[in-house]
Structure 1
Amino acid sequence: MTKTRDFFGPYRLARLIRSGSTAEVWEAIDENTNERYALKILKRQSAGDRTEVAMLKHEYNVGKDLASPRIIKILDYQVANDRPFLVLELFSELNIKQALRRGPESLAFMLRKIIEQAGEGLYYMHTKNWLHLDIKPDNFLVSRDGETKLIDFTISEKKKTGLSKLFHKSKTARGTRSYMAPEQIRCKVCDERTDIYAFGCVLYEMCTGKPPYTGDTPNDLLSRHLSSSIPSPIVHNDNITPEFAAIVKRMMAKNPADRPDSMWDFLKEFRTTEIHRKRPRKPKISVFDSMPGIKGADDMLRKDAGLENDVIEYED
């Protein structure tokens, strides 16, 4: 007999996809329609936390009107079994960060398609006046043929204009340390170029298999984004063209004025630029068929990823 706890409303939990510190993502089946969805469910210890509940509602309010094939569809917000959850379209559970654990070669052969679709998703979000503010490899899902979707709008914000921009004042910075733009770290006004900086960090990591900056402490890592010289991906991957490396470095400029003005400007330039000197071959073993260290649901649990990958919130 199926236990009640295996159901959230009409949705029967079928398979754990991912588990984080505050929420789990499950593949679920609607018993009325037999359609499959992904449910993002707050863990029991987080379900009574007003801040976590508010963030989940916020993610729904941001995502429900983003109608793009490059962005995950958020279909509903519900509460069942005293736990709030989101209903999302079911898409590949493999994110770019997971794929890169096999090295940059795992995605290199379809990197152009991934970058273009990821960029289109971010560009679409900006056209709706939303800033993502947590762009990182973990927040892009990718399928085995390179189809890519942007996810996780937990800390997204409306772009500030007019008086809201003029009187902006904040002492709290939120983001993921390995991908935060200097103005985000300093609690200054953010705009599209803040996401462009983070996307530049993501492109660097997709080319090299490692983020552009690392640090021994949280403050050390943040200070590198503020003052360290901008690294070139060619140092770690000599198959990257100088032209593409120059784009990545410009995206990661310390001063927003030195970055591309918009994701559209980036996409126009990217579409006429070669990424690799020599076209990468498709690996004999797909990363989608053989993920190291992942054998079942229990292995999908997110381990402590260190100080680089956690969303942080701190006082400036």
Structure 2
Amino acid sequence: MSKSRDFLGPYRLARLIRVGSTAEVWEAIDETSSDNKRYALKVLRASCASDKNELALLKHEFNVGKSLASPRIIKVLEHQTDKGRPFLVLELFSELNMKQALRKGPDSLAFMLDKIIEQAAEGLYYMHTKNWIHRDIKPDNYLVARDGETKLIDFTIAEPKRTGISKLFYKAKTVQGTRSYMSPEQIRGKLCDERSDIYSFGCVLFELVAGKPPFTGQTPNDLLSKHLTASIPSPVVYNDNVTTEFANLTKRMMAKKPDDRPDSVWEFLKEFRATQVWKKRPRVPEESVFDDMGGMKSAEDMIKRPDGNYDIEDKSKKEKS
């Protein structure tokens, strides 16, 4: 940005952290604060700034986020527009998400995985207690700090939990989600509840220990078909240090039928806290994945996706459909 565009409202854009298909994430400094407090700004890209659908999605994310107050969930503070650019003001936290960390392999987080999984689950459980279903649980949507602190982000396609008549007459307008992590009922456009997020979270846990998603496909439709009909894989096949108890727990979370999964994230947490992830405790790696963050290198580097992780795109060209 040129100097004349270095500010959005009172926030000076200090560093570009990440670029997505519709938004940029900046580290920004509040020049009006006495201590120059830093925030993260999620700014719609210029090409999307007038798109009614993108504007509605950003406002929806703000409305969901402002209703959530947990140390396990990123704080969403403000929704503003300046110079024709709508943006959210967020708590500044680690810029590394699980997906980025896993590019170095599962060993990058293995030594503190117990803490990461527990905090990731606590954030999701809290969201469910506020009657929101996230619907896009994936490694990209969990930020992880050097000490293992973990926060849930991105509420763009979250929906309120349906009850009563609204539950009986629910029909999805469009199928939304990320293909590598979508539950069978989400793929079919049916009603999603806590157990749909549990399925997606099970896919995340599989990837955290195996280093790859549970299902991949030659085509996007092939990938979706595997969620619907393929046998549920065990992470032990890819990592023999995973305990049978933890592997069986992840498989139950990824059951095809919601009734065969844990009823709630709280039920998962109770079982997980009594379960060992590893047969042998992993060592801290000599080179930390957090040492390689280094901020933004290039837009292309930040938005590329590993093979097999197909994202549904809608007319707005987001990773949703």
- Shift of the 171–11 alpha-carbon distance from structure 1 to 2, 3 Å rule, reads closer
Is this contact kept in 1: 2:16–2:295, CA < 8 A?
no
Is this contact kept in 2: 1:57–1:77, CA < 8 A?
yes
Unaligned runs of 5+ in 1: none
Alignment of 1:89-168 (within 5 A): 89-168=91-170
Q: Which residue of 2 aligns with 1:302?
A: 303
Q: Which residue of 2 aligns with 1:21?
A: 21
Q: Which amino acid aligns with 1:139?
A: N
Q: Which amino acid aligns with 1:84?
A: P
How far did 1:296 drift? Answer: 4.2
- SS at 2:226's partner residue? helix
Q: Which residue of 2 aligns with 1:247?
A: 249
- Quote the Cα distance in structure 1 between the aligned partners of 2:32 and 2:209: 44
Q: Which residue of 2 aligns with 1:88?
A: 90
Q: Which amino acid aligns with 1:146?
A: G
- Quote the Cα distance in structure 2 between the aligned partners of 1:265 and 1:10: 44
Q: Which amino acid aligns with 2:69?
A: A
Alignment of 1:113-262 (within 5 A): 113-262=115-264
Unaligned runs of 5+ in 2: none
User: Which residue of the other structure, out of 259, 266, 269, is the alignment partner of 1:267?
Assistant: 269
- The one-character-per-residue Cα deviations of 1:76-123 (angstroms, maximum 9, x if unpaired) are 000011010000000000000000000000000000000000000000
- Quote the Cα distance in structure 1 between the aligned partners of 2:313 and 2:183: 13
Q: Which amino acid aligns with 1:27?
A: E
> TM-score when scaled to structure 1?
0.96
- Quote the Cα distance in structure 2 between the aligned partners of 1:151 and 1:311: 19
How far did 1:169 drift? Answer: 1.7
Is this contact kept in 1: 2:220–2:310, CA < 8 A?
no
> TM-score when scaled to structure 2?
0.94
Q: Considering only aligned residues, what root-mean-square deviation do their CA atoms show, in Å?
A: 1.7
How far did 1:290 drift? Answer: 2.5
- Quote the Cα distance in structure 1 between the aligned partners of 2:149 and 2:162: 31
Q: Which residue of 2 aligns with 1:46?
A: 48
Number of residues of Structure 1 aligned to a counterpart in Structure 2 = 313
- Quote the Cα distance in structure 2 between the aligned partners of 1:214 and 1:304: 13
- SS at 1:237's partner residue? coil
Is this contact kept in 2: 1:233–1:240, CA < 8 A?
yes
Q: Which amino acid aligns with 1:298?
A: S
Q: Which amino acid aligns with 1:3?
A: K
- Quote the Cα distance in structure 1 between the aligned partners of 2:158 and 2:93: 21
Q: Does 1:72 align with 2:74?
A: yes
Q: Which amino acid aligns with 1:99?
A: A
- Quote the Cα distance in structure 1 between the aligned partners of 2:66 and 2:306: 29
- Shift of the 55–185 alpha-carbon distance from structure 1 to 2, 3 Å rule, reads same
- Quote the Cα distance in structure 2 between the aligned partners of 1:270 and 1:306: 30
Q: Which amino acid aligns with 2:98?
A: I
- SS at 1:76's partner residue? strand
How far did 1:313 drift? Answer: 4.5
- The one-character-per-residue Cα deviations of 1:242-287 (angstroms, maximum 9, x if unpaired) are 0000000000000000000000000000000000000000001100
How far did 1:303 drift? Answer: 2.3
Runs of 4+, deviation exceeding 3 Å: 294-297, 304-307, 311-316
Is this contact kept in 2: 1:177–1:307, CA < 8 A?
no
Q: Which residue of 1 aligns with 2:281?
A: 279
- Quote the Cα distance in structure 1 between the aligned partners of 2:3 and 2:21: 25
- Identical pairs, percent: 69
- Shift of the 58–120 alpha-carbon distance from structure 1 to 2, 3 Å rule, reads same
How far did 1:305 drift? Answer: 5.0
How far did 1:155 drift? Answer: 0.3
- SS at 2:245's partner residue? helix
How far did 1:9 drift? Answer: 0.4
Q: Which amino acid aligns with 1:105?
A: D
